[in-house]
Amino acid sequence: MSGPNFSNPVVRWIDHRLPVFTFMHHEMHEYPTPKNLNYWWNFGSLAGIVLVIMLLTGIILAMHYTPHVDFAFQSVERIMRDVNHGWLIRYIHANGASFFFIVVYIHIFRGLYYGSYKAPRELLWMLGVVILLLMMATAFMGYVLPWGQMSFWGATVITNLFSAIPGVGEWIVTLLWGGFSVDNPTLNRFFSLHYLLPFVIVGVVVLHIVALHRFGSNNPLGIDVRGKQDSIPFHPYYTVKDAFGLGVFLTIFAAVVFFMPNAMGHPDNYIPANPLVTPAHIVPEWYFLPFYAILRAVPDKLLGVLAMFAAIGVLFILPWLDRSPVRSATFRPLFKIFFWIFAANCVLLTYLGGKPAEGTYVILSRLATVYYFFHFLILLPGLSIFETPKPLPRSISQPVLGSGTAGASKENS
């Protein structure tokens, strides 16, 4: 048993019987991490911290919120006006959802660029996609809770997606609603599930981290850590780097929460839900817009819904679509170009999802949707065959030190 040597006798006593301190030391302190990680690697831990912020503020909001169609809207207004610091806590929670998606989308694109989904990290990647799906479900149901116009009609439109399923569609929608329209039973179950799912996310995040720590982080070069000379302990090097990134993130986050808290919201949601009047222009929250654009691009109800779900589903099989053994885009000249075209296409889809479904926007949506799937289903498998990657460095140390073994005996502790 060569665990760390704790000086505190109480810690030693506990650790001998319940080795939590050894575990934490192993996974958060000495945990060997590639020494060349850049700032794009901050977004994993950042996502974890935002999840904690969302849990804390969410549990607090649940202390003041009333999940009933007659009281939900007023209870949210009471939080904004009467509850001590309630406005702050709600704005943190509402904007926190947006920032959670910003952080997670950057995290995903980092994985796409540096090939973090490739062997042996396929399950790590797939667990990440599961987290994304759970986040979407949670965010959607959370948006329904204030029971404003956008809450109500968002819930109506999204639950109606399931009516596209042949045969059992109507039955499923009635089951989701607990009635014949979105009403009090719907609000009640959405509240229950909105409280439950974040804890399910925590569980999957734990699995995500277990899978991560099996082989350690990928890195900007996309090559394996060859030995001690290629890695540094997580603490203090990456704890400090993550803490600095957190400081920058919180500065931006606080600026939005305090100075433009409704910038990413929709004013119609400050109108109480009215089941008899649909707002003129229904738009989901910005983080759903690319998928919404794909949904509307397909002129068939069932196929549109399928395309929308397939847009995320395709991520599950990504590790087997991109067969190139080279992970990092740094050494894949063609992939790098197409990565940025793909990213731009996603931005375009986001833009189109927020525009009315008419005229040029429809045509553009269709082109962008086709390109989205073209990238995954045709381009990536094709590149794996036809692209000639640049030569890889022999080790993480080599590009810096000239040789993978120079100075290898020098160890930091």
Partner 1 sequence: MAETHEGATRRDFIHVASATMGAVGAACVAWPLIDQMNPAADTLALATTEFDVSGVEEGMAVTIVWRGKPVFVRHRTAKEIEEAGAVDIADLPDPQADGDRAPKPEMLVLVGVCTHLGCVPLGQKATDPRGEWGGWFCPCHGSHYDTSGRIRKGPAPTNLPVPPYEYISDTVIRIG
Query: Catalytic residues, which ones?
Result: 213, 217, 241-242, 285
Gap between the Cα atoms of 393 and 399, Å rounded: 7
Closest distance to partner 1 from the beta carbon of 76 (Å): 13
Residues of this chain that interact with partner 1 (CB under 8 A) are 56-57, 60, 63-64, 78, 81-86, 88-89
Gap between the Cα atoms of 145 and 341, Å rounded: 37
Gap between the Cα atoms of 229 and 410, Å rounded: 8
Closest distance to partner 1 from the beta carbon of 72 (Å): 16
Q: Which is nearer to partner 1, 360 or 413 (CB)?
A: 413
Closest distance to partner 1 from the beta carbon of 83 (Å): 5
Nearest to 315 by CA among 342, 340, 333, 337: 342
Q: Which is nearer to partner 1, 175 or 252 (CB)?
A: 252
Closest distance to partner 1 from the beta carbon of 84 (Å): 5
Closest distance to partner 1 from the beta carbon of 194 (Å): 19
CA atoms within 13 A on the CB side of 65: 25
Neighbouring-strand partners of residue 272:
148
Q: Which is nearer to partner 1, 78 or 213 (CB)?
A: 78
Q: Which is nearer to partner 1, 64 or 68 (CB)?
A: 64
Token code pair at residue 71: 């009281």
> What is the enclosing helix (H) or strand (E) of 34?
strand 32-34
99, 253 Cβ separation under 8 angstroms: yes
End-to-end CA distance of the chain: 19
Question: How many residues are present in the chain?
Answer: 413
Q: Which is nearer to partner 1, 60 or 131 (CB)?
A: 60
